[in-house]
């Protein structure tokens, strides 16, 4: 399975997880530039949630969360700013969902992240 297919599978799993947990999916794969993409934009009650999804086949080479570098987080923040400029949003946060496919499916959800 190549990385693009694995990533799309992870995003599908994340969307199912979010919907089951009371989120409404607003958009997927919102591109603002070559370097800036928001995987999932969702709403939970009155909060807009920008979700980065990281998928790994196994944890043999690190967890999904370890794949989020400071520069990756900065690009996500840029995308959020572009979205906020286009859409009237009062409350928002950035979440990360880490998905590990094997040996068994594991979904981890970190809410309201920041990287220093």
The dihedral over CA atoms of 59, 64, 67, 71, expressed in degrees to the nearest 10, equals -170
pLDDT (0 to 100) of residue 7: 80
Task: Give the HSE-up count for residue 87: Cα atoms under 13 Å, Cβ half-sphere.
Answer: 15
Structure tokens at 63: 């967890």
pLDDT (0 to 100) of residue 33: 77
Q: How confident is the model over 37-57, as pLDDT tens digits? A: 899 999 999 999 999 999 999
pLDDT (0 to 100) of residue 36: 84
- Give pLDDT < 50 ranges for the chain: none
pLDDT (0 to 100) of residue 48: 97
Task: Give the HSE-up count for residue 54: Cα atoms under 13 Å, Cβ half-sphere.
Answer: 19
């Amino acid at each position: 399975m190549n990385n693009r297919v694995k990533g799309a599978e992870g995003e599908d799993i994340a969307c199912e997880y979010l919907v089951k947990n009371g989120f409404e999916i607003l958009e997927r794969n919102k591109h603002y530039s070559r370097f800036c993409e928001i995987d999932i934009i969702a709403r939970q009650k009155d909060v807009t949630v920008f979700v980065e999804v990281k998928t790994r086949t196994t944890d043999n080479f690190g967890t999904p969360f370890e794949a989020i570098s400071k520069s990756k987080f900065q690009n996500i923040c840029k995308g959020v700013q572009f979205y906020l400029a286009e859409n009237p949003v009062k409350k928002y946060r950035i979440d990360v969902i880490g998905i590990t496919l094997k040996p068994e499916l594991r979904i981890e959800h970190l809410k309201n992240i920041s990287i220093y």
